[in-house]
Amino acid sequence: MAAAEPLQVHIFADSTGESATRIARAAITQFPGREFSLVRHRRMVTLEHVHKALETLRDRPGHPTAVLYTLVDHQMVAIVQEVCLELGIPSADLMTDTIRALEHATGVEADAVARRPVGVEADYFTRVAAIDFAVRNDDGAAPGALREADMVLVGASRSGKTPLSMYLGYLGYKTANVPLVPGIAPPEELFTVDRWRIVGLTMKAEQLQVTRNQRVRAMGGFGTRDGYADLATIYDELDEVSAIQRKLGCPIVDTTGVALEELASRILDLVVKRAASSGSSLRLLPGVVCKR
């Protein structure tokens, strides 16, 4: 049986299209057996831009296609709706219903200005500071600052600590990460951090080997002699790292094959729940109310 043709999801946006893309990617995960491709039509600020993008839909009749759009101009929205209806292409307006709901709630009519800058939100400078903290405290660089962290990630090399620290920093949380290396004691400062702030990371040995081999190749073969990317050595290393994580009393999150956003969400859930159990709480970000 031949594989189904990938479904093209066309995203029409008057700005970067990032919001619609994130929604599309989240929706796509609900169809694990189907292939998709995303096509972004960004910065559509004139009707000419809209018509040009719509021509790409006319050029592929009979092919599986869907359209998502985040346009605020009513005329542009009407044109996209009309052409999708004409071509029989399923579509979804991701912006209009939201604006109408807010208009109804506020009693104020929206300006509908395309490409209006989002501006500096309440947590903007908090996020900038958190990203800076993650950079300065990557890979155990500053043990003395661990007690300033909202969260501390601990795990073997290449288990995902750095990208998760940076992403949590982007969300506004000051996150440090500390590598756990067999035969080398973790920094003493790590044991002074509130236990509920510490989360262990692990990864399936086979995937960790793949990840480390990529790093070895990027570094011109460095690491091949000390067993860094040797599967048997990795199994032993993970056992030792797990023992250290148990000593720290931290929960362990398996990062194998899980998206960064999902991992960050799991870690936040763990930290919030463990903080509550300890009679404490994770620092709330400005302008954000978090109920779990």
Give the count of alpha carbons within 13 A of 67, CB side only: 27
Q: What pLDDT, on a 0 to 100 scale, did the predictor assign at position 274?
A: 96
Q: What pLDDT, on a 0 to 100 scale, did the predictor assign at position 215?
A: 84
Query: Region 191-219: what's the mean pLDDT?
Result: 93
Q: Do the two domains 7-106 and 124-277 of this chain adopt the same fold? A: yes
The band of 224, judged by pLDDT with boundaries at 50, 70 and 90, is: low
Q: What pLDDT, on a 0 to 100 scale, did the predictor assign at position 204?
A: 97
Q: What pLDDT, on a 0 to 100 scale, did the predictor assign at position 205?
A: 95
Tokens of 291: 């109920």
Q: Identify whether the C-beta of residue 121 lies closer than 8 Å to the C-beta of residue 287.
A: yes
Q: Provide the terminal-to-terminal Cα distance of the chain, rounded to the nearest Å.
A: 45
Query: Region 9-32: what's the mean pLDDT?
Result: 91
Position 144 pLDDT exceeds 80 = yes
Tokens of 285: 């970000």
The pTM of the full predicted model, rounded to 2 decimals, is: 0.72
Place of tokens 């831009």: 49
**CATH number listed for the domain at residues 124-277:** 3.40.50
Position 11 pLDDT exceeds 50 = yes
Q: Give me the residue spans of the domains in the chain.
A: 7-106, 124-277
- What is d(CA 139, CA 153) in angstroms, rounded to the nearest whole number? 10
Q: With respect to CATH, is domain 7-106 assigned 3.40.50.2300?
A: yes
